[in-house]
Structure 1
Amino acid sequence: MTTQTVIITGGATGLGYAIAEAFLHDSAAPTLRERANVVLNGRTFSKLETAAQKLDRPVRVVSPLANRIHLVAGDITDPTFAPKLVDEAVSRFGRVNVLINNAGIFAVKPFTEYSIGELDQYLNYVRGTFALTQEAVKQMRLQGDGGAIINIGTILTFHASQSIPSSAPIMAKAAITAMAKNLAFELAKDRIRINTIAPGIVPTPLHGELTPETLNSLDWQHPLGRVGTPKDIADAVLYLANASWVTGTILPVDGGIAAGGDGLNRS
């Protein structure tokens, strides 16, 4: 079985770190016997090094993670960085099988308080995700054996919350989600699947502006009675990486919010 190579953006902390951990350590990872090689991307190399050290558990005696992790620091909002990231993956591991578009930023504030400059910052992540997805698709087509692209979106695209006003970042997430729906048809003939995960509220460093009080108040508003964990999202990523007959889907991983309408707005 050929070991797969996975690129994860925004991989130093939060969801990206949990996804890397799942591919490197979880027996449900798509390579099963051999698990996966991971190209971990983030803006700061020192943070990537810290993440890699944490990921390097005692299993390294059996399967040295130093041989399975490659760190590539860089900002995906610079579209010229996309070819470099894919080239690094191919140079180190020979191929790209899975792309996780996870990198992003988030800020909670009323609609009228966002500046156009802030909106541009969010839209830069759309441009960067677009460029990186293009480069990954080119490489997957060259390989000729398909691939999987998984975007990390948000349930707030479809179920707004009075407690979390966030129109600018949600606008960017919605654009990436729409791109995936359309690409699923275009890329199906190449056996390249593209799907989006729509997480509910999952506390991570990205959501540092959400107060503990706000997060606690959102616990009970999820039908399953709690906010999510990064592992909840990582488990869904592994599923979509394996799901050879699933493309173009938006998968809510949200504690049941999508099933019930206005759960985030109950009081």
Structure 2
Amino acid sequence: MDIQKVAVITGASQGIGAGVVEAYRSLGYAVIANSRTIVASDDDLVIAVPGDISDPAVADRVIETAVERFGRVDTLVNNAGIFIAKPFLDYTSDDFDQALAVNLGGFFHVTQNAVARMSAQRTGHVVNITTSLVEYANSSVPSALASLTKGGTAAVVKSLAIEFASRGVRFNAVSPGIIKTPLHAEESHETYAALHPMGRMGTIDDVVHGVIYLEQAPFVTGEFLHVDGGQSAGN
């Protein structure tokens, strides 16, 4: 009997997250899709679980839904995140609290719950969506809070990859450049494109291909896959 594999995807209502949902469905996975604004899907194998993933109760509900409906969790894609571009001295306490809650809290609670299931299964995969600005800062895009918080979810990949390698659970990260999503106004696209050595912004498909590569590479763990048009290579 074939096992119905299950992917949990956060930040799934639009942009990269919505693209990742489609990609995992095309691979035959059932999907638990979370975001604050997610709506029910016509696809019986896409289960929407609305709520703020930084809330531990929501994180619990997301994983419980996967287990109740399908009995397992095979992949978790931690895509939910916020990016607040301000000079460091302009950040407020509210900015800090919000970035900490979503970018770190939104990773921590759901990942603990998912990995507990994966560890018991002796198989699983966690992918964190970060940003190349963590390693390649750019004066045109002030990003200290992103570096502080998304940088944490990047750094923890190697630690968890080693901790859980013997239990069959892999951890990887996709580090995108600036991606053409609804978050970026069209009038800014030319400026953002010029920040990449390849001379264009990334697309949602570019990031999705990176996630799926890692999904289908069973001997890859603890890896940072840069999908950034050469940003991290230099300028």
- Does the aligned pair in 1 maintain the 2:84–2:95 contact within 8 Å? no
**Deviation for aligned residue 1:155:** 0.3
State the distance in 1 between where 2:18 and 2:75 align. Answer: 16
How far apart in 1 are the matches of 2:187 and 2:58?
Answer: 38
Q: Distance in 2 between matches of 1:67 and 1:41?
A: 15
Shift of 1:213: 4.2
1:48 corresponds to which of 16, 36, 39: 39
Q: In 2, are the aligned partners of 1:163 and 1:214 still within 8 Å (CA)? A: no
**Pair 1:124 & 2:98 matched:** no
Aligned pairs, number: 233
Is the contact made by 2:130 and 2:173 (CA closer than 8 Å) also made in structure 1? Answer: yes
Aligned letter for 2:205?
A: K
Name the structure 2 match of 1:244. Answer: 218
Contact kept? 1:11, 1:48, Cα under 8 Å? no
Bigger relative contact order, structure 1 or 2, given CA contacts below 8 A and separation 6+?
A: 1
Letter in 2 for 1:37: A
Given candidates 202, 212, 218, the residue that maps to 1:228 is: 202
Q: CA deviation at 1:225?
A: 2.4
Larger radius of gyration: 1
* Matches of 2:75 and 2:69, distance apart in 1: 15
- How big is the shift at 1:216? 0.6
Paired with 1:123 and 1:139, the residues of 2 have a C-alpha distance of 25
- Structure 1 gaps of 5+ residues are 30-34, 54-65
Query: Shift of the alpha carbon at 1:147?
Result: 0.6
TM superposition shift of 1:108: 1.4
What's the offset of the Cα at 1:166? 2.0
CA distance in structure 2 between the aligned counterparts of 1:183 and 1:138, rounded to whole angstroms: 13
- The answer to whether the 8 Å contact 1:41/1:48 transfers is no
Identify the residue that residue 9 of structure 2 maps to in structure 1. 8
Amino acid at match of 2:46: I
Q: How big is the shift at 1:12?
A: 0.3
TM-score, structure 1 normalization: 0.83
Task: Quote the Cα distance in structure 1 between the aligned partners of 2:227 and 2:35.
Answer: 24
SS at match of 2:111: helix
AA at the equivalent of 2:231: I
- 2: distance between equivalents of 1:4 and 1:183? 22
The equivalent of 2:83 in structure 1 is: 106
- The answer to whether the Cα contact below 8 Å between 1:119 and 1:169 also exists between their aligned partners in 2 is no
Aligned to 2:55, what secondary structure does the other structure show?
coil
Q: How does 1:2-81 map to 2 (within 5 A)?
A: 2-25=3-26, 29=27, 35-44=28-37, 47-49=38-40, 52=41, 66-81=43-58
| RMSD of aligned alpha carbons | 1.5
SS at match of 1:148: strand
Segments of 5+ residues of structure 2 without an aligned counterpart are: none
Q: Which residue of 2 is the match for residue 162 of structure 1?
A: 139
SS at 1:96 equivalent: coil
TM-score of the superposed pair, with normalisation by structure 2: 0.94
Matching of residue 139 in structure 1 with residue 117 in structure 2: yes
Q: Secondary structure at the match of 1:67?
A: coil
